[in-house]
Amino acid sequence: MLDIQNLSKVYETKTGTVTGVDNVSLTIAEGEVFGIVGYSGAGKSSLLRCINLLERPTSGSIVVNDRDITKLSTEELRKARLKIGMIFQHFHLISQKTVGDNIAFALKAARVPKGKRQERVKELLSMVGLSDKIDVYPSQLSGGQKQRVGIARALANNPSILLCDEATSALDPNTTLSILHLLKKINRELNITIVLITHEMDVVKEICDRMAVMQDGRVIEEGSVYDIFSNPKTALAQEFISSVVSFHVPDAILKEVKGSLVKVLFKGKVAGQGIISDTIAKYHVRGNFLHGTIEYIQDQPLGLFLMELNGEQANVEKAIAYMEERGAHVEVIDNVL
Ligand SMILES: Nc1ncnc2c1ncn2[C@@H]1O[C@H](COP(=O)(O)OP(=O)(O)OP(=O)(O)O)[C@@H](O)[C@H]1O
Ligand SMILES: [Mg+2]
């Protein structure tokens, strides 16, 4: 378990102090994939660097496997850090060393005897699907392959936590997906807790169990990815969600809306129960879809539809009440434009 309490990081600069992390408390369970989103400057990297003490927090505690790592001696900290792997947006591989030597270097730093390093390097490269690249230099690899090497290196010393700082931000969408699948596989097979920071909600949607939203150094919203996607509370979370689930309808179309405009949200199994068609048949209303999507978040459907309901007002009201009775969440939009 990773338990962060009241963590703050204040940077001293020539022109004054800058608060990178402002009193953040987060508890991340063992084996969880936890996403942290926020815009540039929100404090994501500062928080991540504090978690493995690349950066000394100004105050607060970070308990990893029952030990507060902010209180460790230098030697104890060196050992504790080996159990926290990290991968970066720009990979940070050593260009003069081969793929195999990049990974062996991490083993050397952890004082693994020379004779045992090669076997482990092979094992790690096989895990990330790059066995044939052991003698190649980083410049001969694609971005996705470089990140696989970064992952292999981060896993070299069997960490219990893997921190990912914008690990897929430099990659194209397909490569991003393959790296995310690899991270998920590592999480499942090795039971490694993953904390990843990103500004892409697609990344969070793809692999995270829970998430936090950061702004100005603070965590302003936290919860399961499904809950935040289905019911974002802060304006910032809503903004992030809208990048994945967009409901933009052109004004010209909205102007033509004559009936009641409703936003219907179905969670989980409810999404597949044909509620809309039942409602339309039962109350003799007509439904005109303006927008709609079913997103799958951790294999759970989340249905979102924007529709116009036409018919006698009393029937429209009954139809809305019926959909809610069946478990949908319905919001009537009064100001259409
Ligand atoms: N070494 C530093 N010295 C001074 N200020 C810093 C330092 N590192 C970060 N900051 C400041 O702390 C705040 C948070 O920065 P941080 O790098 O953590 O943001 P971020 O969320 O990772 O942004 P990005 O998405 O751009 O990577 C910013 O205001 C930044 O200027
Ligand atoms: Mg950053």
Could you identify the atom of ligand 1 that is nearest to the CA of residue 9? Answer: 12
- Quick count: other Cβ atoms within 10 Å of Cβ 108? 14
Counting Cα atoms < 13 Å in the Cβ hemisphere of 3 gives 6
Could you identify the atom of ligand 1 that is nearest to the CA of residue 45? Answer: 22
For atom 2 of ligand 1, the residue with the nearest CA is: 11
| Helix residue ranges per DSSP H, the chain | 44-51, 74-82, 99-109, 114-127, 143-155, 173-190, 201-207, 225-230, 235-242, 251-255, 275-283, 313-325
pTM for this structure? 0.91
Spatial distance between the Cα atoms of 37 and 195, rounded to a whole number of angstroms: 11
Per-residue model confidence as pLDDT tens digits over 261-299: 999 999 887 766 788 889 989 999 999 999 998 888 888
Give ligand 1 pocket residues (Cβ under 6 A).
11, 13, 18, 20, 38, 40-46, 199
Q: Cα separations (Å) of 243 from 229, 261, 332? A: 11, 22, 22
Asked whether residue 19 carries a pLDDT value surpassing 70, the answer given is yes
- Confidence bin at 244 (pLDDT 50/70/90): confident
Cα 20 to ligand 2 centre (Å) = 11
Cα dihedral value 24, 165, 49, 107, nearest 10? 140
Cα 44 to ligand 2 centre (Å) = 6
33 CB contacts (<8 Å, ≥6 apart)?
Answer: 183, 184, 187, 193, 194, 196, 207, 208, 209
Per-residue model confidence as pLDDT tens digits over 36-79: 999 999 999 999 999 988 899 999 999 998 899 999 998 898 88
